[in-house]
Amino acid sequence: MISLVAAAGFVVGAAYVKRRKQNSKHKGVWPLIFHGSFVLAPSFGEVIIKKDQLIILDELTGDISEIAEGGKLSEVLKQRGWKRSCVLHLKEGQLLVPGLIDTHCHAPQYQFTGTGTHIIELMQWLQHYTFPAERRLKDIEVARKVYTALINRLLSNGTTTALYFATIHEESCKLFADLAEDLGQRALIGKVAMDQHGGEDYEETTEVALASTESFVKYVLEKKCSRVLPVVTPRFIPTCSDACLKGLGEIAKKYDVHIQSHISESQDEMAFVDSLHPGKSDTEIYDKFGLLTAKTVMAHGCHLKRHERDVLRARGAAVSHCPHSNLFFGDANLNAKQCVFEKLKLGLGTDVAGGYSYSMFHSIRSAVTTGRNVRIDFLRGVKDDPAACDVPVDTEPLDYKEAFWIATQGGAEALDLQHRIGR
């Protein structure tokens, strides 16, 4: 299914049509045809604007069934027996764009968005802000309030698909999946697993972490909702024992589901990993436990070396570029353009709340800014920055067209959903 979102915030998709049919107030009123201009990003660096077009939906599924010239509106209505009230005419300056895909968002952290600008080390920030806030979502009603607000906010900002970290609490994670299904967002949701270094009252035993992960995966799969998928989610290497990582890899393989975590994110994170696994990189450890697959998305990666990126590419794994939080916590610029030219799958993430905004448009802008910084480092001959240690394919920085592609089709490829979304 191709999903589109209008500037006015209308979401096209199966859940949209479901709401249209079930809500008697809007029955027969919500649009089945969008008339106006729309944007395509068919390839990296290519953006096409088509004017005076009709986007025609399938009345039963919400899929886009046809695209036609605006002059054929009367003919289309007559063929389908639809009234003109089924048509939404976009205003001047409004565009339909492919649904934006957030490949890294910590859903419970929506409560304290913006605290990433409190410049402290990542591990301090987790203990000071993150773990206490996530603990609160053990309460189902608190979870309902936070998750409902987040999903609605993201949809209203054009994010039709999101890859989410939730918390360690199985029941509130199940509620999150239910809410995503009801509210109409395509959501890939991970019940977080962490059996060490979580601080007071925010870690599980290895046995509970694995059992609750498998239970959550089964719960979501049994919903048989193609828009809501489970994700095996080791928080990151410092919070997961070897036994936990091994078990999570086995669960992901058993159910053939997505995997997400963080990789080579910051200097203090990598130092912590080295203290636990001397001489081993994040990439080596994840690979050892079968956690790098074609359905894996690893956030950040701004300190990945070339040979590590080669391993990810060989496994079919993806990186989620999180320019906001890389700036605040990573102390490095990810060379996104280099990743694309290396054929490493790359999506874009807000990383709420390490990132200060839930808007993917802000992340697109920040990705472009980061691209300029990468170029500046290259031109200045900076060699000690891991992001600049490889000679770029060219010295032209990432531009808005390329960043827009990463936020749409790039994200779809990162999630291994390119045949359903992104264009």
Domain-terminating residue out of 98, 125, 156: 98
In a domain, 423, yes or no: no
124 and 81 both lie in a single domain: no
pLDDT tier, 383 (very low <50, low <70, confident <90, very high otherwise): low
pLDDT at 8: 34
Q: 92 and 107 share a domain?
A: no
**How far, in Å, CA of 274 to CA of 238, rounded?**
9
Boundary (domain end) residue, out of 59, 81, 98:
98
Q: What is the pLDDT of residue 26?
A: 42
Give residue 78's Cα distance to chain centre: 40
pLDDT at 27 over 60: no
User: How much is the average pLDDT of 307-318?
Assistant: 98
Supply the pLDDT for residue 242: 99
pLDDT bracket for residue 119 (50, 70, 90) = low
Asked if residues 98 and 422 have their Cβ atoms less than 8 Å apart, the reply is yes
Return the number of other C-beta atoms located less than 10 Å from residue 286's C-beta. 26
Instruction: Please provide the average confidence, as pLDDT, over all residues in the chain.
Output: 90
Place 355 in a pLDDT band, splitting at 50, 70 and 90: very high
Name the least confident of 64-73, 181-190, 249-258, 392-401: 392-401
* Predicted confidence (pLDDT) at residue 10 exceeds the cutoff of 60: no
Closest CA to 10 of 31, 29, 25: 31
Q: Are 180 and 211 within one domain? A: yes
Residue 422 placed within a domain? no
* pLDDT of 381 above 80: no
Write the DSSP assignment of 34-85 as a string of letters: EEEEEEEEEETTEEEEEEEEEEEE-TTT--EEEEEEGGGHHHHHHHHT--GG
Give a yes or no: residue 271 inside a domain.
Answer: yes
Residue 319 is assigned to a structural domain of this protein: yes
pLDDT band of 396, cuts 50, 70, 90:
confident
Residue 189 domain-assigned? Answer: yes
Give 115's pLDDT tier (boundaries 50, 70, 90).
confident
**Residue 169 to residues 78, 137, 386: CA-CA distances in angstroms?**
52, 8, 36
Q: Total domain count for the chain?
A: 2
Residues 179 and 218 in one domain: yes
Q: Are residues 187 and 158 in the same domain?
A: yes
pLDDT at 29: 54
Residues 195 and 318 in one domain: yes
User: What does the DSSP assignment read for 282-341?
Assistant: HHHHHHHTT--STTEEEEE-TT--HHHHHHHHHHT-EEEE-HHHIIIII-S---HHHHHH
Confidence of residue 376 (pLDDT cuts 50, 70, 90): confident
Residue entry with tokens 């609605």:
152
- For residue 61, pLDDT over 50 is answered with yes
114 and 46 in a single domain? The answer is no
CA distance 89 to 31: 9
When pLDDT is averaged across residues 352-360 and rounded to a whole number, the result is 94
Which residues 6+ apart lie within 8 Å of 221 measured at CB?
Answer: 230, 255, 257
pLDDT digits (tens, 9 = 90+) for 188-199: 999 999 999 998
Q: Residue 128 has what pLDDT?
A: 87
What confidence category does residue 234 fall into, taking pLDDT thresholds of 50, 70 and 90?
A: very high
Same domain assignment for residues 377 and 402 = yes
Task: Assess whether pLDDT exceeds 50 at residue 246.
Answer: yes
Q: Is the pLDDT of residue 316 over 90?
A: yes
Amino acid letter, 398: L
Grade residue 389 by pLDDT with cuts at 50, 70 and 90. very low
In angstroms, the CA 90 to CA 8 distance is: 8
Q: In the prediction, which pLDDT does 297 show?
A: 99
| Same domain for 340 and 223 | yes
* pLDDT over 90, % of the chain: 77
- Output 381 or 249, whichever has higher pLDDT: 249
Q: What domain range is 24 assigned to?
A: 4-98
Alpha-carbon span 50 to 64, nearest angstrom? 16
Most confident of 56-70, 113-127, 168-182: 168-182
Q: What is the DSSP string of 220-257?
A: HHHHT-TTEEEEEEE--GGGS-HHHHHHHHHHHHHHT-
Q: Are both 240 and 267 inside the same structural domain?
A: yes
Asked if residue 15 has pLDDT above 50, the reply is no
Q: Which of 9-13, 19-23, 139-143, 306-310 has the lowest mean pLDDT?
A: 9-13
Cα–Cα distance measured from residue 164 to residue 231, given in angstroms and rounded to the nearest whole number: 9
* CA dist list (Å): 210 to 17, 64, 240, 241: 37, 39, 11, 11
In a domain, 137, yes or no: yes
Residue 14: per-residue pLDDT: 42
Q: Residue 420: inside a domain, yes or no?
A: no
- Number of helices (H), then strands (E), belonging to the chain: the values are 16, 14
Bigger pLDDT: 61 or 265? 265
- 275 exposure class (CB count in 10 Å sphere: 0-12, 13-18, 19+): exposed
- Is 50 exceeded by the pLDDT of residue 388? no
Lowest mean pLDDT of 112-121, 281-290, 363-372, name the range.
Answer: 112-121
- pLDDT of residue 226 exceeding 60, the answer is yes
Which percentage of the chain shows pLDDT scores above 70? 89
Is the bond preceding 353 in cis, omega lying within 30 degrees of 0? yes
- pLDDT for position 164: 99
In terms of domains, do 104 and 94 share one?
no
Q: What is the CATH number of the domain that holds 155?
A: 3.20.20.140
Domain boundary residue among 29, 63, 98?
98
Does some domain include residue 28? yes
Of 22-31, 69-78, 359-368, the least confident: 22-31
CB atoms within 10 A of CB 388: 23
Q: Are residues 123 and 70 in the same domain?
A: no
Confidence of residue 139 (pLDDT cuts 50, 70, 90): very high
Task: State the CATH number of the domain containing residue 67.
Answer: 2.30.40.10
